[in-house]
Amino acid sequence: MIYPIVKYGQDLLEKVSEPVAEFNGNLEKLVADMFDTMYAANGVGLAAPQIGISKRLAVIDVSNGQDAKAKLVLANPVVLSTEGNELREEEGCLSLPDFRANTTRPERVTVRFQDIGGTELTRTGQGLLARAFCHEIDHLNGILFIHHLSALKRDSIKRKVRRMMRAGEW
């Protein structure tokens, strides 16, 4: 099933998500649906709040479906450490379609999470994977990439979204 993406402006996106407590067939189905939804939207990551589910769950695939081994399921993820230079690169979000901005993220990120079966794992990502880790874990904490922008840039995006809402385009 492909879920509709929750767009910026809905309260759920700015709330801290609840931990995943049950690792069962329902979770497996949800994860499969999240991957389908992410691929349909041409994303490299998707957090459960982006489909209206307040759970600490995200999926990531920086290979865009080209490498099955690149598919990651992150339940209850936590950033353990960041390393390297802060990299400023263009970033976007499926919940803010058509908006992109240069966002600063660490070069390397180590995260601890549970996989689809509940096994605790640690993984270090670099480059795009590090960016995806930060972006998706931020979602689970009620933070969007625009919260990392200057107040001027953030307010500009918020004004454009409000105009689009009033015009029925959002």
Residue of 14, 22, 136, 169 with catalytic role: 136
- How far is 94 from 38, CA to CA, in rounded Å? 9
Question: How many Cα atoms within 13 Å fall on the side-chain side of residue 142?
Answer: 9
Using only C-alpha atoms, what is the Rg of the chain?
A: 16
Please, are residues 77 and 109 in contact by the beta-carbon 8 Å criterion? no
Question: How many Cα atoms within 13 Å fall on the side-chain side of residue 24?
Answer: 3
DSSP SS3 for 137: helix
169 is an active site residue: no
Please, are residues 116 and 73 in contact by the beta-carbon 8 Å criterion? yes
Please, are residues 44 and 64 in contact by the beta-carbon 8 Å criterion? yes
Give catalytic residue positions.
Answer: 136
